[in-house]
Amino acid sequence: MLLLGESMTHTSTTANYGRRIRLLTVAVIAAVALWTAGWFWFAETVRERVREASVNGPFYCTDIVPTGFPFRIGVTCSKAGLAAPDGETRLDTLGFRTAAQLYRPGHFIAESDGVVDVQLKGGPPVRMEADSLRASVRLAAVDGSAALPERMSLVLANPVISPLVGVDSGPQWAKAGTVEAHLRKGPENTIDLALTGAQVTLAGATPAEFLLDASVNGASRLDAALLAGQADVPAFLRANEGRLRTLSLTFANGGAASLSGPVSVDDQGLVSGELALTITNGAALAEAVRPLQQTLPFDSSPLMALVAANGSGSTTLTITLRNGEAAIGFIPLGSVPPL
């Protein structure tokens, strides 16, 4: 009888174990089915939102395809772009892709096939080609409403900039080994911008390291413009002010120059300010930038003579900007185009 009881207990335990396995299997299949259905529903919602933005907003994306199943969500576009409300400033790119982790929906990664065409108001169309172009965007809710960019980063590998002639690239203007740009909302309603470039070559000049560190006021004003769908960078910069913490070029031959100081822009887009220009190893600097002289919009001979006279030492000069006109003392440097 004991053996019979033990056998019945063993059979009951085995049956319970098998039932649990079957229930677990059903639960896993149901969870996978729900996740799959939810992902495709959400992906279709994202696709529709992107389509609506392409029709009603400054952004466009063609041939929208949701991607990233099962743990990411994103879209690919054969072409994508962004245009200012005036239609005179726009950016277009090919092979645009985005992705975000479902558990971190406020952090997006984007990349393109490395060809970007840029048209700035009042300027010539420009093409930038790179081996890779990757961007990162972190969003944060503003006043409990829509999520807006809080931090943005962009990394370019081996970019080349040239004029756009029809649909083709013209003669090369500039190239670099690596370029990185970082933007974030800073304290006291400011926006901080940092830009670095390695092995930057401008119009055949000596390669240089480039650094820009600056801030501009009015983060809340930019948020309001973005919420209203009226993002216009030149309009945002007008009637505004900021600080250039440093703008520097350090050339491979030892010559270097840096700018720093406050800058303001009036409601007509004219720039004013007082900037400190620090020159290091002026003779080497003059030699490094000599190929650029013919591209400058003013007679740079007096300035280059002043720079070269510094020899191998270091000196600081003051550049004065008044309503778009730049000068060092009595030496005019030309006009800064209105923003």
Q: Bridge-partner residues for 278, per DSSP?
A: 258, 316
Residue of 130, 28, 131, 111 lying closest to 67 (CA atoms): 111
pLDDT at 240: 84
List the structure tokens of 172.
């090369």
What is the chain's pLDDT, residue by residue, as a tens digit (339 residues)?
444 455 555 555 666 666 778 787 888 888 888 888 877 887 788 788 777 766 766 678 888 888 888 888 888 888 888 776 666 777 888 888 888 777 676 777 888 887 888 887 777 888 888 998 898 888 776 555 556 677 889 999 999 998 888 777 778 888 999 999 998 887 778 889 999 999 998 877 788 999 999 988 877 777 666 666 666 677 777 888 889 999 999 998 888 999 999 999 888 888 898 999 998 888 888 888 887 777 666 666 767 777 777 777 788 888 898 998 888 887 787 788 787
323: left (phi over 0), alpha (psi -120 to 50) or beta: left
Output DSSP code: residue 293: G
Residue of 272, 94, 97, 267 lying closest to 167 (CA atoms): 94
pLDDT at 216: 86
List the structure tokens of 104.
């971190």
Task: Tell me the HSE value of 18 on the side-chain side, using a 13 A CA sphere.
Answer: 6
pLDDT at 258: 92
Residue of 119, 150, 251, 152 lying closest to 198 (CA atoms): 251
**What does the alpha-carbon distance between residue 233 and residue 220 come to, in Å, rounded to a whole number?**
14
* Cα angle 63, 68, 69; round to 5: 115
List the structure tokens of 242.
């900021």
Name the pairing type of β-strands 174-175 and 147-157.
unpaired
Q: Parse the chain into domains and list their residue ranges.
A: 1-139, 176-339
The tokens 């510094």 sit on which residue?
310
pLDDT at 9: 55
Q: What b/e string do you get for 80-104 counting C-beta neighbours within 10 Å, with b at 16 or more?
A: bbebbeeeebbbbbeebbbbbeeee
**What does the alpha-carbon distance between residue 30 and residue 140 come to, in Å, rounded to a whole number?**
33
pLDDT at 1: 45
Number of Cβ within 10 Å of residue 113's Cβ equals: 15
CB-based contacts of 144, cutoff 8 Å, min separation 6: none
**What does the alpha-carbon distance between residue 302 and residue 296 come to, in Å, rounded to a whole number?**
13
Could you give the angle at which helices 301-308 and 282-289 cross, rounded to 10 degrees? Answer: 140
